[in-house]
């Protein structure tokens, strides 16, 4: 519950801080995204695609260098806002699209933690936040490097049997993991894991344990 309230507050803060910006829609893609052109404060044209024809753009220092960058909300769902970041590259004197070294192409519900130099994202997968993915990134130049992640999902088994591939999703069992991606490959870097029936869960206690493991040694 506390987490839901925090996420809602975060979203409200983002909405209040950002404003519907003047962009020009110049086309559409096969997957129904709009092609936008936005003129940045330095006169530079920024191009991006968004699900909405009316997007929110915020000027905010996202890489903690004291210079305002650009945050564009490109997909606005009920629980999840997906953003693209364009940071001001002082070397080149221009805004540059931020890329990550994870599979997260558009950053979900971005939060900034300047005190620890962390950018976090949080995807809400439903069941009142029970299913979720939280990623912690650290800046490496103009790239966001994934350092920790927490995944809460329904326990899934996969197996090959001859020429059939079976996936069993156990709707009554929760599987939570925290990974430290600085330790090794995806399968080698689990630092905390819980598999338990949903009925037996003390959610608040579990979320606290997950958060502690996720931020261990960072803050």
Partner 1 sequence: MKRLWMLLLVLLAVAGTACAETMFIDGGAADEVHLRSSPVDSASSLGVYYTGTPVERLTATSGGWSRVRIGSQTGYVRTEHLAGEAQLAFRDCVVNNTTSDWVNLRQEDSFEATVLARLDNGTALQLMGETAVGWGYVLWNGQRGYVVTDFLTAAAPAPRQTPEASTAPAATVPAASPAPVAAGSSIVGTTADGGYIHAYDAGNGQTIYFVAMEADPFITLEDVNFDGRADIVVTTIRGATNCYYEFFVWTEAGYIRADHPGVEGIANYILHPQYGYVASSAKAGNAGALYEDCLMRWEGSSLRLVRRSTSEERREYRSEGTSFVIVMHSRQASLTVYAYTAEGDSTLLHEEIVDLNGMDAEMLEEMKQHLWEGLR
Footprint on this chain of partner 1 (rule: CB under 8 A) = 26-31, 33, 35, 37, 45-49, 74, 84, 97, 105-106, 163-172
> Could you tell me the smallest distance in angstroms from the CB atom of residue 110 to partner 1?
13
Q: Record the tokens describing residue 114, joined without a space.
A: 């300047």
Given the complex with partner 1, which of 66 and 166 has the nearer CB atom? 166
Given the complex with partner 1, which of 138 and 170 has the nearer CB atom? 170
> Could you tell me the smallest distance in angstroms from the CB atom of residue 200 to partner 1?
14
Given the complex with partner 1, which of 34 and 207 has the nearer CB atom? 34
Return d(Cα 87, Cα 95) in angstroms, integer.
5
Please answer whether residues 89 and 96 qualify as being in contact, where contact means their C-beta atoms are separated by less than 8 angstroms: yes
> Could you tell me the smallest distance in angstroms from the CB atom of residue 79 to partner 1?
19
> Could you tell me the smallest distance in angstroms from the CB atom of residue 66 to partner 1?
26
> Could you tell me the smallest distance in angstroms from the CB atom of residue 218 to partner 1?
26
Torsion of CA 95, 148, 132, 52, to 10 degrees: 10
Give Cβ neighbours of residue 195 (< 8 Å, ≥ 6 apart): 155, 173, 174, 175, 176
> Could you tell me the smallest distance in angstroms from the CB atom of residue 219 to partner 1?
29
Given the complex with partner 1, which of 48 and 215 has the nearer CB atom? 48
Given the complex with partner 1, which of 145 and 192 has the nearer CB atom? 145
Given the complex with partner 1, which of 28 and 182 has the nearer CB atom? 28
Return d(Cα 35, Cα 27) in angstroms, integer.
5
> Could you tell me the smallest distance in angstroms from the CB atom of residue 206 to partner 1?
19
Q: Record the tokens describing residue 29, joined without a space.
A: 């893609």
E runs forming strands in the chain: 19-20, 24-28, 34-39, 45-50, 56-60, 69-76, 81-89, 94-97, 99-100, 107-108, 111-113, 118-124, 132-140, 143-161, 164-180, 190-197
Given the complex with partner 1, which of 58 and 84 has the nearer CB atom? 84
Return d(Cα 62, Cα 97) in angstroms, integer.
12
């Amino acid at each position: 519950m506390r987490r839901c309230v925090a996420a809602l507050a975060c979203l409200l803060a983002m909405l209040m801080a950002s404003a519907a910006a003047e962009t020009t829609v110049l086309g559409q893609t096969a997957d129904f995204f709009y092609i936008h052109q936005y003129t940045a404060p330095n006169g530079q044209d920024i191009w991006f695609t968004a699900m909405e024809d009316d997007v929110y753009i915020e000027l905010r220092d996202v890489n903690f260098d004291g210079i305002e960058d650009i945050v564009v909300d490109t997909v606005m769902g009920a629980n999840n806002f997906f953003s693209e970041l364009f940071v001001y590259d002082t070397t080149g004197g221009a805004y540059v699209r931020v890329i990550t070294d994870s599979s997260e192409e558009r950053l979900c519900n971005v939060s900034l933690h300047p005190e620890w130099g962390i950018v976090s994202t949080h995807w809400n997968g439903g069941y009142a936040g029970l299913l979720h993915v939280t990623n912690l990134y650290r800046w490496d130049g103009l790239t966001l490097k994934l350092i920790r992640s927490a995944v809460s999902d329904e326990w899934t088994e996969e197996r090959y049997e001859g020429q059939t591939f079976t996936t069993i999703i156990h709707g009554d069992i929760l599987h939570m993991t925290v990974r430290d991606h600085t330790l090794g490959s995806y399968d080698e870097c689990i630092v905390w894991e819980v598999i338990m029936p949903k009925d037996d869960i003390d959610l608040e206690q579990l979320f606290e344990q997950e958060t502690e493991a996720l931020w261990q040694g960072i803050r």
